């Protein structure tokens, strides 16, 4: 009787462990929809690209281009979302709130990631995404490396002269980054001063840019960069024009922040602001 009871107990333990393992494996989402380019990029960074079943038309990573397109930055095609039967949908603060409500009303789990204000929030959101899909260890290592690189860059630019910078992230109307945005933090960490940081809103006038006379103008790619560069070159008295310091940066890198793209953008911006004075490799 004792032997039979022992065998039965062992069987129950094994069965419990098998079921627990099965439940654990199913605890994390297997079918994911991303409604933000930065979220899509982070899923691939975390090695979860195979679980991505749908994303936006703005998700540019080569692998993501092959995924089903379920909307743009704001609009969501609910029929496609439903047809894909996602375990979870990751949305952003730009996603249409009505679409989010409809998805939730239909029983679809939706997690919304707001626009991060700085590098710390970018890392925190990355870690939260990793927690939701069970990739915390990988995320911790990525964040550790990126934070280390930020500290390195801060040390390299420390003591260098701080040029005045205007970052153009929209043309009609002219739009820039103000205090409390991660782009403003990028400028500061790269060793520059954002002339628009104290503006009440991101909307800025060309007259004010000319008056503030920045040393550097950075235009974020948005389909009209060549035209915008020609417009700025008309203001020949400006330092940025006289010294040929009008630059173009990729919008995907600058406006779709992940811990990795933030550091990539920071390195590029630091090189722009301090040409010939930085020693790290472009890679």
Q: Is residue 106 part of a domain?
A: yes
Which pTM does this prediction carry?
0.86
Whether residues 172 and 261 share a domain: the answer is: yes
CATH number at residue 60: 3.40.50.1980
Per the structure, the count of domains in the chain is 2
Token digits of residue 113: 């990631």
pLDDT at 283: 42
Q: Is residue 137 part of a domain?
A: no
CB 174 within 8 A of CB 228: no
Token digits of residue 249: 């940066």
Minimal CA–CA distance to 273: which of 252, 257, 256, 249?
249
SS3 call for 218: strand
Which long-range CB contacts under 8 A does 106-113 form with residues at least 24 apart? 106/82, 108/81, 108/82, 109/29, 113/36, 113/39
For the sheet containing 68-71, what is the strand order?
68-71, 52-56, 32-34, 88-92, 110-113
| Domain end call among 79, 114, 149 | 114
Segments forming the whole domain that contains residue 96 = 32-114
Distance CA 119, CA 182 (A): 7
CB 90 within 8 A of CB 32: yes
Model confidence pLDDT, tens digit, residues 197-244: 998 888 999 999 999 999 999 999 766 678 899 999 999 999 999 999
Q: Is residue 213 part of a domain?
A: yes
User: 98: which residues sit within 8 A by CB, 6+ positions away?
Assistant: none
CB 70 within 8 A of CB 33: yes
Q: Is residue 145 part of a domain?
A: no
| Domain end call among 114, 149, 170 | 114
Model confidence pLDDT, tens digit, residues 138-183: 999 999 999 999 999 999 999 999 999 999 998 888 999 999 899 9
Kindly state the DSSP code that residue 159 receives in the 8-state scheme. Answer: T
């Amino acid at each position: 009787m004792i032997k039979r009871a022992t065998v039965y107990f062992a069987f129950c333990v094994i069965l419990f462990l098998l079921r627990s393992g099965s439940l654990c494996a199913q605890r994390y989402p297997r079918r994911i929809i991303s409604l933000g380019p930065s979220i899509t990029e982070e899923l691939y960074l975390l090695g979860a690209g195979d679980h991505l079943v749908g994303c936006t038309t703005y998700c540019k990573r080569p692998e993501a281009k092959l995924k089903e397109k379920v909307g743009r930055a704001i609009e969501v095609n609910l029929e496609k979302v439903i047809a894909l039967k996602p375990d979870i949908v990751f949305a952003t603060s730009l996603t249409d709130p009505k679409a989010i409500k409809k998805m939730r009303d239909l029983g679809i789990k939706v997690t919304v990631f707001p626009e991060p204000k700085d590098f710390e929030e970018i890392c925190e959101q990355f870690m939260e995404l990793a927690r939701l899909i069970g990739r915390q260890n990988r995320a911790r290592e990525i964040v550790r490396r990126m934070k280390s690189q930020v500290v390195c860059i801060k040390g390299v630019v420390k003591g260098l002269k701080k040029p005045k910078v205007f970052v153009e992230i929209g043309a009609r109307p002219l739009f820039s980054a103000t205090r409390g945005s991660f782009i403003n933090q990028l400028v500061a960490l790269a060793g520059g001063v954002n002339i628009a940081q104290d503006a009440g809103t991101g909307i800025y006038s060309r007259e004010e840019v000319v008056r503030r006379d920045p040393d550097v103008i950075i235009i974020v790619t948005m389909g009209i960069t060549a035209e915008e560069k020609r417009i700025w070159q008309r203001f020949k008295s400006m330092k940025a024009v006289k010294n040929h310091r009008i630059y173009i940066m990729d919008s995907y890198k600058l406006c779709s922040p992940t811990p990795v793209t933030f550091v990539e953008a920071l390195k590029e911006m630091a090189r722009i602001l301090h040409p010939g004075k930085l020693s790290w490799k472009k890679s």
